[in-house]
């Protein structure tokens, strides 16, 4: 660095050189910033997106312009990497920037300002100058893209410093975590694959059907059976529950059919011939009663005739 170009007794130069030395001796994984060789009042920086936000894993480059009255006046900040939170190549409005000199403290440094800038990334822009309000999905996309290459800005000296800082930040930056939507899609795809593997088709098993109970074989089947698997080519019908508990029933053979027919014959209703037999029996009984009554009547009539003849 061409330190001989500057008056080391100047408070601003003295402070800047002190901060450069501290930045190089105590680097951070979250940011890196160095001044140009030919102009120590212009710094290039890169910050890492804050953890657990849509910016996580991103590498965001920017430019700091320190005033001649530094550290008694605040610096100006400009982002160079598209990020969805701040406009690029536009001086942004922050409490630590030159837009609010009333908030600046001389004890603050470039390091302090970069830590504050990282903290500002996920905050609500509230319409501040140079702010953007992209959706989280768009910011995640920009975070991924920010790692691909350093932004192009300025002359060869600036670009060389930007590229060096970018390589340093890449060596420190962890991989970008999957977004919640990607994780959900992967989990859904995994569940679908598992279901397909667990429910592979079986040529011997027919689709699940619902069987209704048969009144003629209620004594042979299990009640409340609903979903079963049937194999029509396996001989006797076999019934199994999905849980693995199985029962079976035997199709009635010829002997069982004969026994069932014999029981039905013994319990069937009387035939019409039986009805006629009872009818004739009732008619015969009625005739017998009429004959008896007629004989009694004739006998009674004959007795009365005899009595009348004896009186003459």
CA 95/CA 106 separation, integer angstroms: 14
In sequence order, which residues have a C-beta less than 8 Å from that of residue 35 and are 6 or more positions away? 1, 16, 20, 41, 42, 43, 44
Q: What is the DSSP letter of 88?
A: B
Is 59 in contact with 170 (CB distance < 8 Å)? yes
CA–CA separation, 117 and 111 (whole Å): 10
Q: Which of 76, 93, 132, 221 is catalytic?
A: 93
Give Cβ neighbours of residue 85 (< 8 Å, ≥ 6 apart).
55, 120, 121, 122, 125, 131, 132, 134, 139
To the query of whether residue 93 is one of the catalytic residues in this protein, the response is yes
Residues 6+ apart with CB under 8 A from 226: 210, 211
| DSSP code, position 44 | E
CA distances (Å), 27 to each of 96, 116, 197, 293, in order?
21, 16, 51, 140
Catalytic residue numbers read 93
């Amino acid at each position: 660095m061409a330190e001989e170009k500057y008056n080391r007794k100047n408070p601003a130069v003295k402070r800047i050189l002190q901060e450069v030395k501290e930045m190089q001796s105590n680097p951070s994984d979250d940011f890196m910033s160095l001044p140009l060789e030919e102009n120590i009042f212009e710094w290039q920086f890169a910050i890492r997106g804050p953890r657990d936000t849509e910016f996580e894993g991103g590498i965001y480059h920017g430019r700091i312009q320190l005033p001649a009255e530094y550290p008694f006046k605040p610096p100006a900040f400009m982002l160079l990497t598209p990020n969805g939170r701040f406009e690029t190549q536009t001086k942004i409005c922050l409490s630590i920037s030159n837009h609010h000199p009333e908030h600046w403290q001389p004890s603050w440094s470039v390091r302090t300002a970069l830590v504050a800038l990282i903290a500002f990334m996920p905050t609500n822009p509230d319409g501040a100058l140079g702010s953007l309000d992209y959706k989280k999905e768009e910011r995640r996309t920009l975070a991924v893209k920010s790692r691909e290459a350093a932004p192009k800005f300025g002359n060869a000296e600036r670009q060389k410093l930007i590229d060096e800082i970018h390589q340093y930040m890449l060596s420190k930056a962890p991989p970008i975590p999957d977004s919640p939507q990607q994780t959900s899609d992967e989990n859904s795809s995994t569940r679908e694959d598992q279901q397909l593997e667990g429910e592979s088709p079986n040529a011997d098993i027919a689709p699940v059907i619902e069987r209704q109970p048969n009144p003629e074989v209620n004594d042979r089947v299990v009640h409340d059976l609903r979903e079963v698997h049937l194999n029509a080519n396996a001989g006797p019908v076999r019934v199994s529950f999905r849980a693995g508990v199985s029962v079976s029933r035997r199709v009635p053979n010829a002997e069982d059919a004969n026994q069932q027919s014999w029981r039905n014959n013994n319990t069937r209703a009387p035939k019409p011939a039986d009805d006629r037999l009872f009818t004739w029996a009732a008619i015969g009984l009625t005739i017998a009663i009429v004959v008896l009554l007629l004989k009694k009547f004739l006998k009674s009539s004959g007795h009365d005739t005899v009595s009348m003849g004896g009186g003459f």
